[in-house]
Amino acid sequence: MNILKTLGIIITSLLLISCNKNEKNEIAIVDPAEIYIKGTIDAELTSPPFVPAPVGNRVAKKLLVNMEIIEKEGTMSDGVTYVYWTFGGSVPGSFIRTRIGDVVEFTLSNHPDNKLPHNIDLHAVTGPGGGAESSFVAPGQQKTFSFKTLNPGLYVYHCATAPVGMHIANGMYGLILVEPEGGLPPVDKEYYIMQGDFYTKGANGERGLQAFDMNKAIKEDADYVVFNGKVGALTGDNAITANVGETVRLFVGNGGPNLTSSFHVIGEIFDNVHIEGGSTISKNIQTTSIPAGGAAIVDFKVDVPGTFILVDHAIFRAFNKGALGMLKVSGKENKTLYSGVKQEGIYHPEGSTIQTMPDENGKKTAEVKVVEKSLTQKMKDGKQVYMNTCFACHQSEGQGIEGAFPPLAKSDYLNADVKRSIGIVLNGKTGEITVNGKKYNSVMTKQTLTEVEVADVMTYIYNSWGNNKTNVTVDLVKQVKNKN
């Protein structure tokens, strides 16, 4: 009897354990639609390249998002301005960070000074138009709608008011991150980067306020392809930063409206890539494809110091249209991992100048009457041309590159014959020359610059770095050009 009783207790215990296991399995698989929310919080919204604090393991809540649409003039490139349409005053728009199971109450307002109605389509929304059908809002008005976050991932949002392409092309896009239960694995630095293609009436680099060009947009002929809304948004003093040994996470989106991004960081390999911003992770990736209206999360550890260049590896977009950024890493060198003399300016924006190999068949152009600029203005404009066109070979202080490209600073060759130097810029040059006692035998490509740009850049060079202070006029450039 005692044996039977003991067996009964054992069987009962096993059944209870089995039931408990089943219950645990059922609890582990939670339908996001059924996740209980507790409490209400205001969303932290940030402008690029910054992101809000990680969600971590907080419980699901009602998240209040208040976003204002602002139409405003901003800088596309040096000397070039554009009227952007923005979510929250920046391109891309404010970064939104939430978690699976949150209920997002979204209030979209349209600034009273705006000229057009707008709305918002969030790819994270399960609902008609991603919220667009509930958020159409006129200037001076606001609309509120709500949705529950059902899928973890990094999602694009954009305006969907007709003409939809025009609204997106003017900068109306951004990212919303839905973190999984428990949050993303922690890293040391996180940044927000979004690519976009822009279409202007003037060509790339044409100065002044530029209007949107619908015909170019339809043909997908972009004048600018940029990160975070403008050329240079992530270079120089605007570069993102990290320290050796830190892990870096980039939330990368592509607003389009047309072009796919081939996102790459020169000198780094992505340890983890959340493909298209979803749950699938690939490891040890060199370049990841991000479609228009898509996103990716890339993580990597920075092991050595230096400047790492972010590009769309459709490479002319990077160096000639603006899709270039910088990650500056500080810290102690590790020559076991990398050693070598570092040359400044190897990867630098080249701007819109079209360079060709030298030839002897240059065509003369019709004479155009221009008003000569002041020396101060020519120096300013000439420096811009130099940084876009000459910097990579001749360096920031005109020092050149030993054994490859001759110096422009205190150059006996340059100062001996101004007309000869102008001719080289106009027509290019091959063959050996001697500069400051050293021989160089490289190729100077022909620069497709206007006569005004040649005058500006040559004046800048001659009035910098110990040269002879010649003020190169447009008429002098024309004289040289017309003799060819």
Pick out the residues of the known binding site.
118, 123, 158-159, 167, 172, 313
Task: Report d(CA 216, CA 411) in Å as an integer.
Answer: 44
Of 63, 64, 257, nearest in space to 159 by CA: 257
Q: What is d(CA 76, CA 170) in angstroms, rounded to the nearest whole number? A: 11
What is the H or E stretch that residue 148 is in?
strand 142-148
Six token digits for residue 253:
């989106």
Q: Which two tokens stand for residue 107?
A: 């209030």
Q: Which residues of 234-245 are buried (b: 16+ CB within 10 A; e: fewer)?
A: bbeeebbebebe
Query: In sequence order, what are the residues at sequence separation of 6 or more whose Cβ sits closer than 8 angstroms to the Cβ of residue 414?
Result: 408, 421, 435, 461, 462, 467
CA triple 61-66-68, angle to 5 deg: 160
DSSP 315-342: HHHHHHHS-EEEEEEES---TTT--SPP
Whole-angstrom distance, CA of residue 319 vs CA of residue 226: 10
CB 152 within 8 A of CB 178: yes
What is the C-alpha separation between 289 and 271, in angstroms, rounded? 16
- The number of beta carbons lying within 10 Å of the beta carbon of residue 204 is 22
Q: How many residues does the chain have?
A: 484
CA 151: distance to chain centroid?
Answer: 26
DSSP, collapsed to helix, strand or coil, labels residue 25 as helix
Residues 225, 195 contacting (CB under 8 angstroms): yes
- Whole-angstrom Cα distance, residue 113 to residue 97? 28
Query: Environment class of residue 102 by beta-carbon count within 10 Å: exposed (0-12), middle (13-18) or buried (19+)?
Result: buried
Q: Binding site membership for Cu cation: which residues? A: 118, 123, 158-159, 167, 172, 313
d(CA 94, CA 50): 9
What gap in Å lies between CA 211 and CA 198, rounded to an integer? 10
**Cα distance between residue 478 and residue 386, in whole Å:** 20
